[in-house]
A and B are shown apart, each in its own frame.
Chain A
Amino acid sequence: MTGAAADLIRQPASVLAAAISAGEVSSVEVTKAHLARIADVDERVHAFLQVTAEAALESAQVVDAKCKNGAKLGSLAGVPIAVKDVLTMRGVPTTCGSRILEGWCPPYDSTVVSRLRAADMVILGKTNMDEFAMGSSTEHSAYGPTHNPWDLERIPGGSGGGSAAALAAFETPLSIGTDTGGSIRQPAAVTGTVGVKPTYGGVSRYGLVALASSLDQAGPCARSVLDAALLHSVIAGHDPRDSTSIDAPVPDVVAAANRGDVRGLRIGLVKELSGEGYQAGVLQRFNEAVELLQGLGAEVVEVSCPHFDYALGAYYLILPSEASSNLARFDGMRYGLRVGDDGSNSVEQVMSLSREAGFGAEVKRRIMLGTYALSSGYYDAYYGQAQKVRTLITRDFNAAFEKADVLISPTAPTTAFKIGAKVDDPLAMYLNDIATIPVNLAGNCAMSLPVGLSPCDHLPVGLQIMAPPMADDRLYLVGSALEAALADKWGHLLIEEVPNL
């Protein structure tokens, strides 16, 4: 890789976009630099399941031609992006990290992908994930784990480990993730990147292969708060193809990121999302960030959300229940893997054989858990009760937002752990999402951004900012101010400290 190309891959998306539209660099050059980087390092990182090099270069050429003709371009035109493999992209394999969809080429684009295309962005490929987004480490991908660029023996978080690792490895300046219980934020935390779960209904779910429909939300992943805001504004907004999409203007996240100001803002520390179970190094960096926010003029108050203690339990009943129902569509009849169709097996036998062969261990575990929770005799005690707890968690948020404009907590209780450490210990794995799950249950929005390396293991620590529904701009207002103060202290963004691969 030449010096110029090595420099291009480290640039923020905002800088690349400006340089492309000013004609200082072509989208083809930028795209080629990133494709070369992927060719160099992805064998070790394994962030990508599919690299669409040819299509990427074609879209880059189209942008360059438009630019030459003086056409008006979008805010991220010509900038490369990677898409989590749970969003459909016409004609490109979309596997959701599962064998059951190996090689499946969807006949349509998801709305998120359509909007990226309409914004003249260059899609580099599809990123690795835990199978059907079930997991917190990307180890549950049927195609093998993704490795964390900070330490290749460690997990990059999950389920969107591919999208986060691709950013930290400088394979792409932007990526798309999806977050059902923390799958954007927890990977962001453990890879030293920025990830945002928008308000539920803020980004269309059309073409997002459903895990738990009432929790799933796609969002932006980036290396800086401003870059995340630019991508947020490209993908968000009402879509008539998703009946749960919110028909209201998108909060001005870019203006908020540009302003970055916490003076006079009330920031609530959630008592229940701290203390026991959180690593000392994580708490230390978190507490330092709180002091920094205070120094910037924020008023810090403590709030209590007593029902958050039950969020994990409610989530692991609601999610498997919805998942067991959503994943019933993978029956090997119209698309996907079919096994045992030998002329003698019945359709039911073929379905059972196909699903047994096509699904991995965690997916089967959750399908059976959901089937159990929804079965007669258990429905009220499990699913019914979980839905009531969900109401109480939303009420806790409402009460907390009376006292504070945003809430904060560590994003994850630990830094990145070793690959293999928790892979067959479901409860230990589920605890990774203890701080991120309440937001999915209530449907509001949250961001994770890096606040330093843990003094214990020198791995990234993330801080989570939570805001009320449709107040996504507050995440960027606070995130941007904190990011700038930290960069001032260190002389650079944390991501600059990632080891050379």
Chain B
Amino acid sequence: MTGITRDEVAHLAKLARLDLSGAELDHYAGQLDVILQSVARISEVAAEDIPPTSHPVPVENVFRDDIAMPGLDRAEVFAAAPATEDDRFRVPRILDEEEA
């Protein structure tokens, strides 16, 4: 079930949007493998017919009353933004160069 390689760590980092350095990839490959081997013990538990628990207090379709409440203050929200332009969040280009 385990045996995580450096390439796999690089792939995970890409999926998780982490621009890891080469040294970090080496370091995490070893550590993630040790952690996964340890947690893999849970496979010893025979649990085929056991229902999974996603949440300790099962609740469904919780609604609150439909009453208008003040939203966040626009100026405060923009004050905390990394970049704004014309009362909007400014973001980097969203297409890669080959797609553009």
Q: Is B24 an interface residue (CB 8 A)?
A: yes
A469/B42 in contact, CB under 8 A: no
- Please list the residues of chain B having a beta carbon within 8 angstroms of any beta carbon in chain A: 1, 4, 8-9, 12-20, 24, 28, 31-32, 34-36, 38-45, 47, 50-57, 59, 62, 64-65, 72-73, 76-77, 79-83, 89, 91-97
Q: Among the listed A324, A384, A389, A394, which residue makes an inter-chain contact with B16, where contact means beta carbons less than 8 Å apart?
A: A324
Q: Is A310 an interface residue (CB 8 A)?
A: yes
Q: Among the listed A314, A355, A427, which residue makes an inter-chain contact with B42, where contact means beta carbons less than 8 Å apart?
A: A314
Chain A residues with CB below 8 A from B34, complex form = 426-427
A372 with B47, Cβ < 8 A, contacts A200-B56, A240-B64, A346-B96 known:
no
Sample 19 A-B pairs with CB under 8 A, ordered by A number. A107-B73, A108-B72, A310-B42, A333-B82, A334-B77, A335-B80, A346-B96, A347-B93, A350-B92, A364-B20, A364-B24, A365-B31, A368-B16, A384-B52, A385-B47, A390-B53, A391-B47, A394-B53, A426-B31
Complex Cα gap A391–B94 (Å): 42
Q: Is A307 an interface residue (CB 8 A)?
A: yes
**Considering the complex of A and B, which 4 residue pairs feature the smallest CB-CB distances, nearest first?**
A443-B56, A387-B52, A338-B82, A107-B76
Q: Among the listed B16, B35, B77, which residue makes an inter-chain contact with A427, where contact means beta carbons less than 8 Å apart?
A: B35
Complex Cα gap A367–B28 (Å): 11
Q: Among the listed A201, A331, A369, A388, which residue makes an inter-chain contact with B32, where contact means beta carbons less than 8 Å apart?
A: A369
Q: Mark A72-111, 1 if CB is under 8 A from B, else 0.
A: 0000000000000000001100000000000011111000
Complex Cα gap A430–B97 (Å): 43
Which secondary structure dominates chain A's binding surface?
A: helix
Q: Is A332 an interface residue (CB 8 A)?
A: yes
Q: Mark A341-370, 1 if CB is under 8 A from B, else 0.
A: 101011111111101100100001101110
B77/A107 in contact, CB under 8 A: yes
Q: Is A456 an interface residue (CB 8 A)?
A: no
Q: Is A337 an interface residue (CB 8 A)?
A: yes
A243/B62 in contact, CB under 8 A: yes
Chain A residues with CB below 8 A from B45, complex form = 307, 310, 385, 388-389, 392
- Return B22 CB to nearest CB of chain A, in Å: 13
Q: Among the listed B18, B44, B47, B52, which residue makes an inter-chain contact with A368, where contact means beta carbons less than 8 Å apart?
A: B18
- Name, among A104, A372, A394, A443, the residue most crowded by chain B CB atoms within 10 Å (CB to CB): A372
Chain B residues with CB below 8 A from A394, complex form = 53, 56
- Name, among B34, B35, B65, B89, the residue most crowded by chain A CB atoms within 10 Å (CB to CB): B35
Chain B residues with CB below 8 A from A314, complex form = 39, 42
- Return A334 CB to nearest CB of chain B, in Å: 5
Interface positions of A from 237 to 274, Cβ below 8 Å from B: 240-241, 243-244, 246
B52/A390 in contact, CB under 8 A: yes
Q: A105-B80, A200-B56 are in contact. List 8 more A-B contacts (CB 8 A).
A: A108-B72, A333-B89, A338-B83, A349-B19, A352-B17, A364-B28, A385-B47, A387-B54
Q: Among the listed A310, A332, A336, which residue makes an inter-chain contact with B41, where contact means beta carbons less than 8 Å apart?
A: A310
When C-beta atoms are compared, the residue in chain A nearest to B65 turns out to be A240
Q: Is A167 an interface residue (CB 8 A)?
A: no
Q: Among the listed B14, B17, B53, which residue makes an inter-chain contact with A391, where contact means beta carbons less than 8 Å apart?
A: B53
- Return A383 CB to nearest CB of chain B, in Å: 9
Complex Cα gap A381–B48 (Å): 11
B81/A334 in contact, CB under 8 A: yes
Chain B residues with CB below 8 A from A23, complex form = none
A443/B94 in contact, CB under 8 A: no
B18/A313 in contact, CB under 8 A: no
Complex Cα gap A295–B55 (Å): 39
When C-beta atoms are compared, the residue in chain A nearest to B99 turns out to be A346
Chain A residues with a Cβ closer than 8 Å to the other chain, count: 74
A346/B92 in contact, CB under 8 A: yes
Complex Cα gap A382–B31 (Å): 17
A341/B83 in contact, CB under 8 A: yes
Q: Mark A461-479, 1 if CB is under 8 A from B, else 0.
A: 0000000010000000000
A313 with B17, Cβ < 8 A, contacts A335-B82, A385-B47 known:
no
A346/B95 in contact, CB under 8 A: yes
Q: Is A386 an interface residue (CB 8 A)?
A: yes
Q: Is A442 an interface residue (CB 8 A)?
A: yes
A313 with B13, Cβ < 8 A, contacts A335-B80, A387-B54 known:
no
A347 with B92, Cβ < 8 A, contacts A352-B17, A365-B31, A387-B54 known:
yes
A345/B92 in contact, CB under 8 A: yes
Q: Among the listed B18, B40, B42, B72, which residue makes an inter-chain contact with A356, where contact means beta carbons less than 8 Å apart?
A: B18
B50/A381 in contact, CB under 8 A: no
Chain A residues with CB below 8 A from B77, complex form = 107, 334-335
Q: Among the listed A105, A353, A427, which residue makes an inter-chain contact with B19, where contact means beta carbons less than 8 Å apart?
A: A353
When C-beta atoms are compared, the residue in chain A nearest to B21 turns out to be A356
Complex Cα gap A241–B65 (Å): 11
Complex Cα gap A417–B97 (Å): 51
Chain B residues with CB below 8 A from A310, complex form = 41-42, 44-45
Q: Is A371 an interface residue (CB 8 A)?
A: yes
- Return A181 CB to nearest CB of chain B, in Å: 13
A389/B31 in contact, CB under 8 A: no
Complex Cα gap A105–B73 (Å): 12
B36/A369 in contact, CB under 8 A: yes
Q: Is A11 an interface residue (CB 8 A)?
A: no
